[in-house]
Amino acid sequence: MSQLAIGTYIAILDRTGVPIAGQAWQNFTQGQVREYMGDDYTYAGFGFSGGSVDLEAAAVSATVLFSLNQLDLNIFKEASQLRHLMRLRTVWLDPDDLVETSQYSEDVYQILGFSHDQLTLSVRLGSPLDAIEAEFPRRRLTTALVGQLPTTGSIPLS
């Protein structure tokens, strides 16, 4: 039976997609800074379970959980007010030495807000799409996704 380890890299980006210095973390090598794809990531104990999409791909959401502390609270308060983005890269790791073997996924979300209790900071993420300012749509419609597309300019509504 083969073993598998999963790690996550997260980085806060400004609204144009430029990484913000000092706001990049990884959750699998405690006490170390790791370099991945040219960027440095410090250790932070956080959890990310993946995103969810509704059936029409209109609502995309995810949550990242941190232990509550004043520094993270200030970072994510500012990030949500300025409508920053978060890039999440999930990687497969060799369980023996925690070296990346491949990247499983890369997603970009908008930081929508946060909530917290006495122990946990929950950062709410959503689709960064803005039909006015962003590249739209995020997904390409293909025959495999939607079936045969009409060849005329009129589309009957049922």
Domain of residue 121, CATH code: 2.30.110
Total-model pTM = 0.77
Residue 79 inside a domain? The answer is yes
Say yes or no to pLDDT of 138 above 50: no
Say yes or no to pLDDT of 150 above 70: no
In tens, the pLDDT along 2-59 reads: 788 999 999 999 988 999 999 999 999 999 999 999 999 999 999 997 777 666 555 5
Residue 155 inside a domain? The answer is no
Residue 140 inside a domain? The answer is no
Dihedral of the CA atoms 54, 55, 56, 61 (nearest 10)? 10
- The secondary structure of the chain as a DSSP string is ----EEEEEEEEE-TTSPEEEEEEEESSSTT--EEETTEEEEE--EEE---EE-TTS--EEEEEEEE--HHHHHHHHHHHHTT-EEEEEEEEE-TTT--EEEEEEEEEEEEEEEEE-SSEEEEEEE----TTTS-S-SS---HHHH-SPPSSS-----
Where does the pLDDT of residue 133 fall: very low under 50, low under 70, confident under 90, or very high at 90 and above?
very low
pLDDT value of position 56? 59
Residue 40 inside a domain? The answer is yes
Residue 138 inside a domain? The answer is no
Residue 62 inside a domain? The answer is yes
Domain count, the chain: 1
Rg of the chain taking only CA atoms, in angstroms: 18
pLDDT value of position 5? 92
Say yes or no to pLDDT of 72 above 80: yes
Average pLDDT (94-105) is 92
Residue 137 inside a domain? The answer is no
pLDDT value of position 149? 59
Name the amino acid, one letter, at 12.
Answer: I
Domain that holds residue 16: 5-132
- 53 CB neighbour count, 10 Å cutoff: 13
Q: How many CA atoms lie within 13 A of 148 on its CB side?
A: 3
In tens, the pLDDT along 112-132 reads: 999 999 999 999 998 865 444
Residue 89 inside a domain? The answer is yes
Chain-wide mean pLDDT for the chain?
Answer: 84
